[in-house]
Amino acid sequence: MTVGLLNPLYDAVSWIILQFHKLFSPLFGEDSGWAWGLSIVCLVVLIRICLIPLFVKQIRATRNMQILQPKIKEIQNRYKNDKERQSQEMMKLYKETGTNPLSSCLPILVQMPFFFALFHVLNRVSGGRTVGVLNQSQVDSAKEAHIFGAPLAAKFTDGADKLANLGGADITTVRIVTVVMILMMSASQFITQRQLMVKNTDPAAMAANPFAQQQKILMYVFPIMFAVFGVNFPVGVLLYWLTTNLWTMGQQLFVIQRNPTPGSLAFTARQERLAEKARKKGKVLTPEGDVVDAAEYEAKLAEEKERAAKRTQPSRTTKSKRKGGGGTQGSPAQRSTVKGSTARTPPTGTNGTPSIGADATPGETSGGSGNTGGASGGAANGRPRPARKQTQSRKNQGRKKS
């Protein structure tokens, strides 16, 4: 049942290889290993071209995940005892930022069916059995095709008897070819991951980022996995995986040079290249990343400096000026000292001049006569009364006249 489900994929892979084989047969010969080997290489190129949109999504998702790692760590620490709430907050964060964690794995996930389909096709070819759209004569041609002296269907673990059925290849040659291809496959995988980690990440942002630590571990784990499992892959599958790794490395290098992560070493190097290129053309690279004419940019900077110099700051009022009030409010002696006083104008004396005790309040006057409790209230407070300038007789005279 599984084979039936994957039959359309086997047909597609074998058909694509057959079409490229027809293209290269006039150049290298119908039974040539280079004709079949280049057909596998072109299969990889065709698949990777179709995966370019997914690769762009992978780059964006990887950058977003790197940026979101501090927030993700904060959510994990905050809701470490509530897994359901933690999942809800994580999904909310992904939705708000438009990040899909699975996008970084899409190119590999999409490639895996083609990888297994090619593995199955080459296994069938090594056994001399038809597969997909390949007939028996085409299977026999692919079975005996050699590249670098090793059959495309041969494995590192194959013995002399198995290799004798694949065109009589030498076992030493097969193992040397497979080991070299496995090492190249693992090295290309390591270089790709390393240039991503070293050149295209912000060191300050990734210093305490657990996502960066995971990537660093995978940088060493993946090549080891390829080396371990590669001994069970046919030469054709090793050629496929080596080609896709080289494509990934070149594509990654192109992205790092053209669109590096801000703050990374690659971004700094790109800005220096753009600045040098702009300088040779008589232009300048602005901090915003725009290339403008040098004269216009200098004139703009001078105008901004001149505008900043003309800008005046508001003068600060000193404490003495705030106390004086500019002479409009009068001296403190002319203002009523009691908040509840109802007197609006000071009482006048006999000659029309203001009385000396004009700003004495009713409470103070009654306190002076001793008939009320004003004086006793002052004594109870424990504070001496201020000396009065007016006499009691003048106060009494003023009351009689009024």
pLDDT of 389: 47
290 and 227 both lie in a single domain: no
Measure CA 125 to chain center. 47
Domain of 297? 270-305
76 and 24 both lie in a single domain: yes
- Do 291 and 93 touch, CB atoms closer than 8 A? no
225 and 299 both lie in a single domain: no
pLDDT of 312: 55
136 and 200 both lie in a single domain: yes
DSSP string, 17-82: HHHHHHHHHHHH-TT-HHHHHHHHHHHHHHHHHHTHHHHHHHHHHHHHHHHHHHHHHHHHHHTTT-
pLDDT of 67: 73
120 and 193 both lie in a single domain: yes
pLDDT of 223: 84
Distance CA 146, CA 157 (A): 17
3-state secondary structure of 354: strand
44 and 107 both lie in a single domain: yes
193 and 277 both lie in a single domain: no
116: nearest Cα among 234, 288, 292, 287: 234
Q: Does residue 333 lie within any of the structural domains? A: no
HEC profile for 95-142? HHHCCCHHHHHHHHHHHHHHHHHHHHHHHHHHCCCCECCECHHHHHHH
Mean pLDDT per 10-residue segment, the chain (402 residues):
69 92 91 90 90 79 74 84 85 81 72 83 82 89 88 87 81 92 91 80 62 74 86 89 90 82 77 80 72 74 76 61 53 45 47 44 41 41 50 55 48
209 and 291 both lie in a single domain: no
pLDDT of 365: 39
pLDDT of 210: 61
87 and 185 both lie in a single domain: yes
What's the predicted TM-score (pTM) here? 0.62
Tokens of 328: 């409009």
Q: Residue for token digits 């999504």?
A: 57
pLDDT of 337: 45
Q: Residue for token digits 């620490």?
A: 77
Tally of domains in the chain? 2
280 and 253 both lie in a single domain: no
pLDDT of 289: 64
248 and 283 both lie in a single domain: no
